[in-house]
A and B are shown apart, each in its own frame.
Chain A
Amino acid sequence: MLITYIYQLLTLLVLILVIRCLFREKSLNMQIVACMVLLPLALRVLMIK
């Protein structure tokens, strides 16, 4: 289904941006928050959950 592939691409883009933020972030707390955001995004990109 084309719409699913588009959705996965968009999610992947957000995932990459969050990883970028993780490495640029100077606050450890915010880095932990970024990782909490990463997990469901990664599971959705891989269509596991």
Chain B
Amino acid sequence: MEKLYGNKITALVLLGLTALIGVWVSLSFISMWQDDAVYPQAGFKNKMLSEYFAGIANTPVDTAVYIQTGPEKGGTVLLLGGSHGNEPAGRLAAVVILENARVKKGRLIVIPAANPMNLTHTAAQDAHPQRLDLPLPSGKVRSFRMGARDSNPIYEWPNPDTYIHPASGQQLAGNEKSNLNRCYPGVADGSPTEQLAYAIVQLIKKEKVNLAIDLHEASPEYPVVNAMVAHERAMELAATVAMELESMGIPIRLEPSPKNLRGLSHREWGDATQTMAILLETANPSHGRFRGKTDQRLVITGQDKAYAKAATLGRLYIDYKGDQPLRYRVGRHLAALGLLFKNLGEVAPDKAVEIGGLPAFSQIMKTGVGAYLADKARGR
């Protein structure tokens, strides 16, 4: 093949083309820096997490905290969505609660974007969509970012080869330093993600949170999926809720929080504070390693041929029948949350909460998630 020669003119042309491509991709990446619009139900007061730990004020770590206090005294519940930016059911369940909840008794604290640093980027080589566009009944669309599991490396770097969990000395993979749910109880003068974990633990302490729930998703081939992981202090409540979910036809695996698995919310929140710590997982095929093309369709429907095949081979930990739609995953979270709120007073009568306005599992399954999002213009 004839060799193609270059010179200063071709260099200049190529440099110009590279600059054009650079501007185009930069605009795409920068579009993820803007927060998603959320429209809290009347009664929620907006604070920033830095009010609980000033060390994160005016940094990319700081995030919005919404608090609604009911007319009757009761317990305090904390709900975290967006601990991992690529787990949309957890984040959307928190947003649905934020936009619909009416607290009649006790207090509800919602952090819909627990780690704002993971929503500003997508993970390299994961080929995820940047956004999830959810249609509303009015025909409008609400758009939410699909981020990554870890904090954005433009804020959180460098990752070590091995991350040594500061509180326990436990050794983890190096990238776990960027994973909020491996950094609890956090470090006041640590890395950005460790400071974020520290701030959340300070919130739990200062607000005297009685029940703290962390919303997640995981791959269908991961054993802890469609599951509720509970700290020993929360086990009685979690077991009650698990039985009620099963009676509703929603299968759930109840897992005790392992004492030697450190850094996770269900372990460290419970150990570092007096709260009942619970983590909820649904199964998301757009997460797993078997998946095919990872687009919005896969995230919303959960339909994937490779997962159907894996299910026939008995390789999954859920009863996968060809799909795992977003409405089902959000509905599962909301069903579990509704029962956790309802039963908190059964295990701690003076800490009861009563929260109305939440859609039932059957309603979400019938109408989809968009029907329970505020009917506003495109949420960008």
| A residues at B contact (CB < 8 Å) | 4, 7, 19, 22-23, 25-32, 34-35, 38-39, 42-43, 46-49
Contacts and interface: CB of A to CB of B under 8 A. Distances in A.
Q: Considering residues B6, B17, B21, B26, which has the most beta carbons from chain A within 10 angstroms of its beta carbon?
A: B6
- Secondary structure dominating the interface of B: helix
Contacts of B29: 43, 48-49
A12 to B, nearest CB: 15
A22 B7 CA distance: 9
A1 to B, nearest CB: 9
B248 to A, nearest CB: 44
B10 A28 contact: yes
A43 B21 CA distance: 11
B10 A31 contact: yes
Given A28-B4, A29-B4, A30-B6, A22 B15 contact: yes
B4 A27 contact: yes
Contacts of B21: 39
A22 B16 CA distance: 12
B22 A22 contact: no
B18 interface: yes
28 contacts: A4-B157, A7-B157, A22-B11, A22-B14, A23-B11, A25-B6, A26-B6, A27-B3, A27-B6, A28-B6, A28-B10, A30-B6, A31-B11, A34-B14, A35-B15, A35-B17, A38-B18, A39-B18, A39-B22, A39-B25, A43-B22, A46-B26, A47-B154, A48-B26, A48-B30, A48-B154, A49-B26, A49-B121
B8 interface: yes
B137 to A, nearest CB: 36
Contacts of A26: 5-7
A47 B26 CA distance: 10
Nearest to B18: A35
A21 B4 CA distance: 17
B3 A25 contact: no
Q: Which 9 pairs show the lowest CB-CB distances between chains A and B?
A: A28-B4, A28-B6, A35-B18, A31-B6, A23-B11, A47-B154, A35-B14, A22-B11, A48-B26
Contacts of B26: 43, 46, 48-49
A37 to B, nearest CB: 10
A7 B158 CA distance: 10
Given A28-B6, A39-B21, A19 B15 contact: yes
Contacts, number: 56
Interface residues of B, number: 21
Given A7-B157, A27-B4, A39-B25, 8 more contacts: A22-B14, A25-B6, A26-B5, A27-B3, A35-B17, A35-B18, A49-B25, A49-B121
Interface string B11-40: 100110110011001100110000000000
Contacts of A46: 26
Nearest to A30: B6
B14 A32 contact: yes
A15 to B, nearest CB: 11
A28 B15 contact: no
Contacts of A39: 18, 21-22, 25
Interface string B281-295: 000000000000000
Contacts of A27: 3-6
Contacts of B25: 39, 43, 49
Nearest to A22: B11
Q: Considering residues B8, B15, B17, which has the most beta carbons from chain A within 10 angstroms of its beta carbon?
A: B15
Q: Considering residues A4, A7, A22, which has the most beta carbons from chain B within 10 angstroms of its beta carbon?
A: A22
